[in-house]
Amino acid sequence: MVWEALCMHMRIRRGEFERIQSVLSEADPDEPLTAREILTLLEKHGEEFDSAHQVATVLGREAEVGAVEVIRDQPYRYRLGNSRS
């Protein structure tokens, strides 16, 4: 039962990134965006996230596997692998 809960939790997290990826792919931003800017885009597309912190957490996890570039500036900015630079 614990394993099933863990698998479901992982699928939900994967779904979060895929939702972000889908919206950013459609928006096709010209430059990297902050988590707050990404949250605003998500909300405009009807996607619900609790906060910019949640968006940053999801993107930070994906950065560990190379799917997202994190620009460590003030504030941090994020670029997905398929976004233009």
CA-based nearest residue to 24, from 44, 1, 52, 2:
44
**pLDDT value of residue 81:** 80
CA distances from 15 to 8, 9, 24, 58 (A): 10, 10, 14, 10
Residue 69 belongs to a domain: yes
Residue 18: inside a domain, yes or no?
A: yes
- Residue 85 is assigned to a structural domain of this protein: no
Q: How many domains does the chain have?
A: 1
Bigger pLDDT: 14 vs 76: 76
Domain span holding position 6: 2-80
Tens-digit pLDDT profile for residues 17-68: 999 999 999 999 999 999 999 999 999 999 999 999 999 999 999 999 999 9
- CA-based nearest residue to 51, from 35, 27, 73, 68: 35
Residue 22 counted as domain residue: yes
Distance CA 16, CA 27 (A): 17
Check which CATH number belongs to the domain holding 56 and give it: 1.10.10.10
Q: Is residue 34 part of a domain?
A: yes
